[in-house]
């Protein structure tokens, strides 16, 4: 199973989000082709209602504790259903600032 599929599966199983988007953004960085080292994750869940952003991120980090030992970067966008309805999408990731890319 790919890292992207593992991340999706673990989050889906743990919190049954209303919306889940896991994007492998490794191609945007100075890594070998086919790498799975940089991810953008958008999670919309009712479990986030009333939670500060740091608590939401800690929950996802806990779910993905094993995977975080193997990947380099993870951009988390955690939203409640109301926040998702207002925004409709997560922001685009900025261009890579490191390496020679």
CATH number at residue 72: 3.30.300.90
**Across the strands, what pairs with 43?**
20, 78
- CB of 45 closer than 8 Å to CB of 63: no
- Domain containing 80 equals 3-87
Helix orientation angle between 3-15 and 53-63, rounded to the nearest 10 degrees: 120
Residue 71's pLDDT is what? 86
Predicted TM-score of the model (pTM): 0.85
- What pLDDT, on a 0 to 100 scale, did the predictor assign at position 29? 65
Q: Is 50 left (phi over 0), alpha (psi -120 to 50) or beta?
A: left
Q: Is the dihedral of CA 90, 93, 8, 62 positive or negative?
A: negative
Instruction: Give the number of domains in the chain.
Output: 1
Q: Which helix H or strand E contains 56, and what residues bound it?
A: helix 53-63
The SS3 call for residue 16 is coil
One digit per residue, the tens of pLDDT, for the chain of length 101 reads: 898 999 999 999 999 999 999 998 766 666 667 667 678 999 999 999 999 999 999 999 999 999 999 888 799 999 999 999 998 888 777 666 665 54
Q: Is residue 97 part of a domain?
A: no
Evaluate whether residue 81 is within a structural domain. yes
């Amino acid at each position: 199973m790919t890292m992207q599929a593992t991340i999706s599966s673990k989050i889906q199983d743990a919190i049954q989000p209303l919306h889940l988007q896991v994007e492998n953004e490794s191609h945007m960085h100075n890594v070998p082709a086919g790498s799975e080292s940089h991810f953008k994750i958008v999670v919309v869940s009712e479990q986030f209602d009333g939670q500060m952003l740091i608590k939401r991120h800690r929950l996802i980090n806990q779910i993905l504790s094993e995977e975080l030992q193997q990947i380099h970067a993870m951009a988390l966008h955690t939203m409640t259903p109301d926040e998702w309805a207002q925004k409709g999408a997560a922001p685009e990731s900025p261009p890579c600032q490191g390496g020679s890319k």
